[in-house]
Amino acid sequence: LGGIGQRIARIARAFDMRVTGVRRDPARGAGAAEAVYGFPHLPALLPEADVVVLCCPLTDETRHLMNARTLDLLKPTALLINVARGGCIDEAALVSALSDNRFAGAGIDVTEMEPLAEGSPLWTLPNVVLTPHTAGETRHYERNVVDILVANLRKLRTGDTDLVNRVA
């Protein structure tokens, strides 16, 4: 539930979706989500989710966050969307779960190795939508990046290290 997660939560709520978020520090609040939990609660939350959207940074804590064990917790009708980093999903486990139709499908904007290998099964699985790592691109992208840069420069000038959109 960082900046991108908050935006996704607001949009999902506009479609009357019930939104539960996960973040490193749940004490920072739920924001646009109805509830927020720490990463240790993810396995308990996954079986209830209709849609799981990954929009987290790639850290030691999030590497292969979705793996054979967590993918098996998804209900058969669930969708998984990854606009985070490819390493947040164990790709071999994802291919296995999707090949066996253990959950409904995936929207994948990022993969562990980019570009995605020509022989990857992800290209041909009927329950996968692949996009070319462009989920964050909008007509306002450059302006937004400059706004973040300026805000962070102002913070650093005053000694504030709580930066906007900090990855690690």
Q: Tell me which residues are annotated as active site.
A: 85, 114, 133
| Helix, strand, coil distribution of the chain in percent, nearest 5 | 35, 15, 50
Distance from C-alpha of 111 to C-alpha of 98, rounded to nearest angstrom: 15
Burial class (CB in 10 A: 0-12, 13-18, 19+), 53: buried
Distance from C-alpha of 54 to C-alpha of 91, rounded to nearest angstrom: 14
Distance from C-alpha of 126 to C-alpha of 145, rounded to nearest angstrom: 35
Length of the chain: 168
- Residue 128's SS3 state is strand
CB atoms within 10 A of CB 153: 10
